[in-house]
Every structure is written in structure tokens, then in C-alpha cells.
Chains A and B, each alone.
Chain A
Amino acid sequence: MRYAMAIDTRKCVGCSDCVVACQTENNVPIGYCRDWVTETVDGSYPNVEIELRSERCNHCDNSPCVRCCPTGASHIVEGGVVLVTPHKCIGCGACIESCPYDARYSHPEGYVDKCTFCNHRITKGEKPACVAVCPTKCMYFGDLDDPNSEISNALKNRKHKVLAPEAGTNPHIFYLV
């Protein structure tokens, strides 16, 4: 089993519903976020292109954050989901520095926090909150090892890319372009 997410940039409108749904689902304090939306603009008027991307932890196979964690708080669970155990975390911030996606933040209660792929939902067979709420249905989530899963089909049928491939982390958030 290997969980992954694909996000269709052709459909995303950048509304940030994924951000607020994550906050209310996961009790993320106001002023912090586990996911966010970026916009890149190319060209000059009137020949312009924009790409909107919902970004978050890439749940990398080769995760620098897990490797550099001094306490084992950052770890990988079934399905390749990268998690942080709050009571083991000393808040040193090494993982924050090591992440090429800037996906982690310091929680005001003293530990490091980030996207969990909504592990508490996916282990019950539900979709992560961001995927479940997205009004454009631009996010696909599932098991890469299952060739018939929504995510496998999305990646089969569309051109896609990952962010910062040069970091060699083998990330698991894909962008359909």
C-alpha cells in the first residue's frame, strides 16, 4: 500500500477550501496551516498563464525530515504516511529546516506539525478532509499500489509533475498539468 495524492491544476481555482477544511478537521490553530495554495503567473498581458497549486507535505519515500529527527518523533507509518508524534517531539525544528517543501510548522503547543494525509480518516476508508471538501474535485487520493485506484488512473491518463524533483525525496504529491 502506498498512499499518494494528485492535484489537477487545470481544475483548481485556488479557493483555499482545502486550507480551511484542514484547519477545522485537524484543529490547526488560526494563523497556521498544514496546506496552502500558491499561484504562479507566466507571460505578459495578454499572453498570460497561471498555475494554481494546493501544496502540503509530500509524504516522501526518502524523507529528510524523518532522517534528521533526533527523537524518532517524525516517522513513517503504513501507506508511506509521514507523521509526527507530538509528545516525542522536542520542537528542535531540524525537520522544518530540512524539508524542501517548507511543509512543517512549529505548533504553539511546542511540537512540530504538518499534513497527516488525515491518517485518522484514511484508516477508516475516508478521504482526507481537503480532498473531500474540494468544490472542483481537483484532488485525487488513494493507493498507488492498486492499479485501479482513482490516483493510479489519474496518473495513467494525464501528464504530471512533482515539485522539487532535484531534491531526490521521491515525493508523493503529483500535479496533473
Chain B
Amino acid sequence: MKTRRDFIKISAMGTVGAALSGTMLSMARGNASTADPNLAHDGFARLKRTPTYCEICFWMCAGWAYTDENGKIVKITGNENDPHCNGRLCPRGTGGVGMYSDSDRLKKPLIRVTDGDKQTFREASWEEALDLVAGKMKEIKEKYGPESFALFNHGSAGHHLGYLLQAYGSTNIVAPSYAQCRGPREVGFQATFGSGVGSPEPTDIRDTNCLVLIGSHLGENMHNSQVQEMSDAIDKGVTIITVDPRFSTVASKSKFWLPIKPATDLALLLAWINVIITEKLYDRDYVEKYTTGLDQLAKHVENMTPEWAYGITTIKPDLIRKSARAMAEAAPSVIIHPGRHVTWYGDDTQRSRAMAILNGLLGSWGRRGGFYFKESKSIPEHPHPPFPKPAWSWKETLNGKYPLAGLAVSNALIDASIPSPENTHQIKAWLVAGTNLPLTMPQKDTLLKAMQSIEFMAVVDTMPMEITGYADVILPECTYLERYDELRASPNREPFIALRMPAAEPVGDTKPAWWISKQLGERLGLGAYFDYEDFSEVIDWQLKQVGSSLEEMQKIGVKKFERKSGPLYLADGADYTFHTSSGKIEFYSTELAAAGFDPMPVYTPHPEPPESFYRLNYGRAPMHTFSRTANNPNLHDLKKENDVWINPKVAKLWGIKAGQYIWLKNQDGVISDFPVMVRVTERIRWDSVYMVHGFGHTDKKLSRAYGRGASDSDLITKVQIDPIMGGTGMRGNFVTFLTEDPQKEAKS
């Protein structure tokens, strides 16, 4: 069937640029080794360093980009004074140089054209591409109002384009990092402590005596300072308790590993709460002074004993009790880690609530070795005219559902892009920046339908990704190493700021997102919002307001400020008001009760795999971020594809061997685009399989990543939506194995 928006593989375009960049790179490297053969041992001779902070993941570690005498970036190291990295970048940050040197980068603006009955992209000038995008923005605004233009984003480009969109009149700005990732824990912790978790998480891991990880595979997710602090804690003899159906890396470093049956975590958490209360192991002074609802909670979990949980979780009662006592013994220096990617089963806010409650009982919130009170440096906004007030926002796209959603819900905005009588507010056009939606969103069919329904889509990215194949216009962004961005002012133990500035000239005809936003703004008659020639002027102005300057930051990269919000931890017996309606830590949530939800978490069974099917679990590898790094030459070199982890007993049953390539088929008959290598391992249960997320790219322009591994996102066709905040629970999908090429079967 022919569709309006055919997926276009950009391979026909821009090959000259690709070859050129590759040559330039090898020339730079060639110079270093041929001038003096011994230089091959001595690294690069004369390097210049420039401050930056990393964009390969959301941790945003500050570092130094080193350029050689040809002005090419050759290595990146961490900034010693940065609390996100302490001078040590993770493999992705170190390999950030590959994002810059990747010969497959987008290098010219591209415009979709129809040639006969074939759609393709042709190269365009910035002038033409920007005129086209601005023209469409005007047209959409006139026809439907500015609110019907939505921005899907992740990372720094989103800040600039979000600013543009607000000036234009839309607040429909959304990131999948909420409803496909960390949203439920924000709502669960907010309902309990009156404060979300945020990023980086204020976990006091370096001083903790007990770290409890529920499905969080720290060390495989390289949340840099957390991994560093966990390592320090291991040196100091920390007790780690890991709950995971898979023997994760951190499980191997744990005193207690609870090899739980997938989808039953909430039963375990409730049993732990039962043990803590019935054995009176909770922090009595803390609970009495700061919390409310203990009596209701005690009654609620009365029958949720370890014996009850054993039948559900397959974890022996003795292990449940022993691990609960270990937490209590360490308390208040204990962290039930909120995790990060928590959209699993649709009751994720409630599971996060149970984790928050456990922290409350053990008195770890606001305590050394538990959770500290974070603080960030407030950076004044550069003066601009007030934003117009939109007639409606993303809240209206929820159609009365998900009352506690704190940020825009990507799946709801996608639904709102498909015409339906249910939709009271319709999205008509998208701007997409830094998020590869086809390998990010579950339920690809719905995404495709939405992309076919909208009238216009422009994509800002550094790489040809699956999403760029659906764009009407592609605006090639330069990488973080070639541009200014907003100051980083994330919360930490002490407030810090970090500068990102260009370390090299942009490759090809690529531009920073701030420039793209300004150009579009000026074309839309919004020039007053962009009252500067270069974004460095905005940063300099902001820095001067906080007692620094661009000149100073260019030398140091990172600057620390004094805390102003009070002590890092609660002083013993100090009064403290939590931002809940009761002013206390709420074991019984008045907010959830008022919204018609269970005020205390209730375990409900989730669907189980049918015969010959296995639950699809997915996670991260330390050298990759989502799907965005699969083609990075340095990181691809470390891990080229994902594999599917299968327990040896299951492999034997199927006659599948380690190293064999198989196809995965899910419960709805969806088959992986590409075969995936089998890893037969004792590190996984027999009822589930596991694969690293972000592989199985279908865009041929990704010369390294194309066809390597399988995409878990494609196999996630079923979701359980969290009724509280709209998150998409994605771990209720089941796969079976095909050992023969399914396309061969179809042909015969």
C-alpha cells in the first residue's frame, strides 16, 4: 500500500560528504603517526582543550575536548572539578569523539520531494529549508492555532526549539523520557515525600551502608557519578541488595540477589514493608515526627507476609526477611533506589510508591547515606518578551485521563495526532529533535499512523535515524562538540554550573539548534525573542548575573557555588515540612485517594507468558545510550550488536546454540526485522529473555548499525498504561523463537 509519507532511506544523498569526512579524519590521524613513527606511542603531541559537557546521555558530565593542530577533536576527558564525573567520563563520554567523527552524519538540509511516484530527499540550502519550515509553521498557526504544533525532544536541542515553540504559542513540548521512562517514580516519590527525584538522583550512595536496587542495573547503565559512588561504597563494605530476574553485573557484587519472577516486584516490596513493620524495624523517631499513615499502612500489609510473597515472587521467605533486616540494620544509611527506567507493568507509580514508603519507614530521606537535599544554581532567564498564552496545552490531549501526569505524555500526544472523535484537541504538525521515536516508542503501528496523519514534520538531528526517514524537512544539527548550549545547572550536593562551547568547527553544513531556532523565529516575526547575534551573548549575560563570566568559564569549564537552601541532611529532631498536603511523608497518600486511586499500593497479578513464549526484558549496555550511539564508530567498536540472553535449559529445549542467529516473534505475531545472536547464559531465568535496547536499526545510511541486532521497541506492541500518569508499561510482551528465516518461509 502506498502511503503519503514513505520511509526514505537517505542513502541516495550526501555520499560525497561522507567520503570527504572519512578522508579528513584519517589524514589527521596519519599526520600524527607518519611525521614521527614514535608518535604512535606517544599519543598526540600538541593538543588544545576546550570545555564541554557531554550529550551522549542525560547525565551531562563536564569534560574537556582535545583538538589537534588540524583543529580536529581527538579525545575527550572528564573535568576534575565536576561532581557528575569527577574527572572520569564513562565509555560513552570518552567515545563522544565518535559522534563528531562519524562519517554518516547529516551534513546538509534535506527536503522531501516526490519524483514521479517515488519520494526522495534532495539537498537544500539552509535558506530554503528554513523558509519552508517557517512557512509551514505560519500555515499551521493560521489554520489550526499554534497549539497544534508539537515538539518531541530529548537533550539540549529541545531547550532551544522549546523556547521557539513557546514564543510561537505552543506548550505542547514533550520528551519520551517521562512517559516511557522515569515519570512513574517522579509521581510516586512526589506523592510520598512531596518532592520528585529529578536528575541526577539525590542518592547518597558514597556514604550508604545498604543499596537496594529493584531491577536497576547500575553499572550496565553508566549513570556516571552513581557508578563511581557505588564503587567507593563497595570499598567501604556496602551491603548491596539486588532484585532482578537476571544476574546483572551489580547482582554479582551484591550480598543478596533476589532472582525474582518478573512482574512481581510489588509483592516483594509489600512483604518487605510487612517485615519492617511487624518486626518493628522502622525508624520510630523519624516515623513519628515526619510521617503520617503508619497505622493504615500496618493494617494494609498485615497479611502480606513473606510467605504470601513467596508464592508470587518465588523468593524464599527467609531471604525476604534477611534482606529486610539488612536494610533496617543499615538504616537510615540505606537507599531503596528509585531506578530510572520504570515504565514496566502499568502499576509503576504504585511500585515507586512502595519503594518511597520503604525509604520513609527506614528514615532514609534527608539522611546521610540515604537521600540528600539537593540544590541547583538558579540561572536567571535572559530577558525576553512574555510568551503568548496558549489556548490549550498537552493537558487537554489527555482527554481527562492520567490526572497526576506532571509533564506532557508522549503517547497521548501521538494519539492526539491521529484524527479521532475522542480527540477534543488535535495535533497537526511535529518538530522532532534528538529523539529517534521509532526506536523509542512502543506500539510502532500507532506511531506510524500518527506520522501519516500529521500535515508536516521537521526533524533536527545530527544523524540519519529512523525518524529522519519520515521527515518532510531534515535540519542537520552540529554535535555538542561544535556548539554553545545552555549552561548546565543540575542539582547536586552543592550547586555547580558547567559550560559547553564549540571545540571544533561544525562538520559539513551543520548548525547549532540555537541558531536554527533563531532563524525560524526571525522568519516567524518573533525576532524580539532572539535579541542576540550569537548564543554566547546569552550565556555571558547569564554568567555575569551569577558572578562569573564567559571568559572565566571558558578557562575552568565548571564552577561551584555555596549552598543557600540549608543543610544537606535533616539535623536530628529538626522540624521539617514536606511539600505534601499533610506536610508529612505520606504512607497513606491523600493525593492519590482524592484522585480516586489506591492510597496505598496494592499488588495485582500481571499477564504471564503463554506456552513457548518468554517475557521480553530489555536494558542497557554501559557503552551505549538508547539507539543514538549504535553507529558511533568508537562505541560500535566496543559493542556492535545486541544479543538475546536465553537460559541454557530453554536453549536445550529449543535446540538453540550459543552464537546462533534467530528471529524473535512476539505475542502479536510481530517478527524482528533482523536476526539476533543467541547468548546462552546462566545469568537469566527460564521464563524470560533479555536484550540490550537500541539496536536493530533499519536505516541503511547508518553504515555500521544497519541490520545489527534486533529492536526490542518493535516487539513491544502491547502496553499497560499507568492510569495515574499515563506511562506505558512495556514489559508485558512475550517472544518466541524462529530458527529459520521467516521471509524464506513466506517465499516457499
The stretch among B443-451, B517-525, B676-684 that forms the contact with chain A is B676-684
* Contact of A13 with B633 in the complex, beta carbons under 8 Å: no
* Contact of B232 with A137 in the complex, beta carbons under 8 Å: yes
Cα distance A15–B38 when bound, in Å? 30
A109 part of interface (Cβ distance < 8 Å): yes
**Which B residues fall within an 8 A CB radius of A?**
29, 32-33, 37-38, 40-44, 74-78, 85, 87-91, 94-95, 97, 219-220, 222, 224, 227-228, 230-232, 234-235, 247, 249-250, 252-253, 257, 259, 622-623, 633-635, 637-639, 647-648, 681-686
* Contact of B41 with A13 in the complex, beta carbons under 8 Å: no
Cross-chain contact of A120 among B42, B74, B638 (Cβ < 8 A): B42
* Contact of B231 with A24 in the complex, beta carbons under 8 Å: no
| Given A13-B220, A15-B623, A83-B41: A134 and B259 interface contact (C-beta under 8 Å) | no
Kindly list chain A residues whose C-beta atoms are within 8 Å of the C-beta of B220.
13
Kindly list chain A residues whose C-beta atoms are within 8 Å of the C-beta of B228.
135-137
Q: State the 4 A-B residue pairs at the shortest beta-carbon distance, nearest first.
A: A13-B219, A15-B622, A24-B75, A136-B231
| Given A48-B682, A50-B683: A15 and B637 interface contact (C-beta under 8 Å) | no
Kindly list chain A residues whose C-beta atoms are within 8 Å of the C-beta of B648.
44
| Given A109-B33, A133-B78: A13 and B250 interface contact (C-beta under 8 Å) | yes
Cα distance A121–B230 when bound, in Å? 28
A85 part of interface (Cβ distance < 8 Å): yes
Cross-chain contact of A46 among B33, B42, B43, B257 (Cβ < 8 A): B257
Cα distance A60–B317 when bound, in Å? 51
Cross-chain contact of B253 among A10, A33, A120 (Cβ < 8 A): A10
Fill in one digit per residue for A76-87: 1 if any B CB lies within 8 Å of its CB, else 0. 000000010111
Closest to B228 in A: A135
* Contact of A14 with B684 in the complex, beta carbons under 8 Å: no
Kindly list chain B residues whose C-beta atoms are within 8 Å of the C-beta of A25.
43, 75
Total number of residue pairs linking A and B with CB closer than 8 Å: 150
Kindly list chain A residues whose C-beta atoms are within 8 Å of the C-beta of B88.
17, 132-135, 137
A94 part of interface (Cβ distance < 8 Å): no
Fill in one digit per residue for A8-36: 1 if any B CB lies within 8 Å of its CB, else 0. 00110111110111011111011101000
Closest to B30 in A: A109
Kindly list chain A residues whose C-beta atoms are within 8 Å of the C-beta of B90.
15, 17, 135
**How far in angstroms is the closest Cβ of chain A from B548?**
28
**How far in angstroms is the closest Cβ of chain A from B86?**
9
Cα distance A19–B683 when bound, in Å? 24
Closest to A16 in B: B638
* Contact of A45 with B38 in the complex, beta carbons under 8 Å: no
Kindly list chain B residues whose C-beta atoms are within 8 Å of the C-beta of A111.
37, 40
> Other CB < 8 Å A-B pairs besides A11-B253, A50-B247, 9 of them?
A14-B622, A17-B89, A17-B622, A23-B634, A26-B40, A27-B32, A30-B637, A136-B227, A137-B228
| Given A10-B234, A24-B634, A25-B75: A135 and B224 interface contact (C-beta under 8 Å) | yes
Cα distance A79–B730 when bound, in Å? 54
Kindly list chain A residues whose C-beta atoms are within 8 Å of the C-beta of B87.
132
Closest to A123 in B: B42
A113 part of interface (Cβ distance < 8 Å): yes
**Which A residues fall within an 8 A CB radius of B?**
10-11, 13-17, 19-21, 23-27, 29-31, 33, 41, 43-46, 48-50, 52, 83, 85-87, 107, 109, 111, 113, 116, 118-121, 132-138
| Given A14-B622, A20-B91, A20-B634: A26 and B227 interface contact (C-beta under 8 Å) | no
Kindly list chain A residues whose C-beta atoms are within 8 Å of the C-beta of B259.
45-46
Kindly list chain A residues whose C-beta atoms are within 8 Å of the C-beta of B43.
25-27, 118, 120-121
Kindly list chain B residues whose C-beta atoms are within 8 Å of the C-beta of A17.
88-91, 94, 622-623
* Contact of A45 with B40 in the complex, beta carbons under 8 Å: no
Cα distance A49–B249 when bound, in Å? 10
Closest to B633 in A: A30
**How far in angstroms is the closest Cβ of chain A from B408?**
33
| Given A15-B222, A16-B622, A16-B638: A45 and B682 interface contact (C-beta under 8 Å) | yes
* Contact of B638 with A27 in the complex, beta carbons under 8 Å: no
Cα distance A21–B634 when bound, in Å? 10
Closest to B639 in A: A16
Cross-chain contact of A15 among B219, B682, B683, B684 (Cβ < 8 A): B219
Kindly list chain B residues whose C-beta atoms are within 8 Å of the C-beta of A43.
682
Kindly list chain B residues whose C-beta atoms are within 8 Å of the C-beta of A134.
88
* Contact of A48 with B252 in the complex, beta carbons under 8 Å: yes
| Given A17-B89, A20-B94, A20-B623: A86 and B633 interface contact (C-beta under 8 Å) | no
Kindly list chain A residues whose C-beta atoms are within 8 Å of the C-beta of B91.
15-17, 19-21
Kindly list chain B residues whose C-beta atoms are within 8 Å of the C-beta of A19.
91, 638
Cross-chain contact of A138 among B231, B249, B622, B639 (Cβ < 8 A): B231
Kindly list chain A residues whose C-beta atoms are within 8 Å of the C-beta of B633.
30
Kindly list chain A residues whose C-beta atoms are within 8 Å of the C-beta of B683.
41, 45, 48, 50
**How far in angstroms is the closest Cβ of chain A from B38?**
7
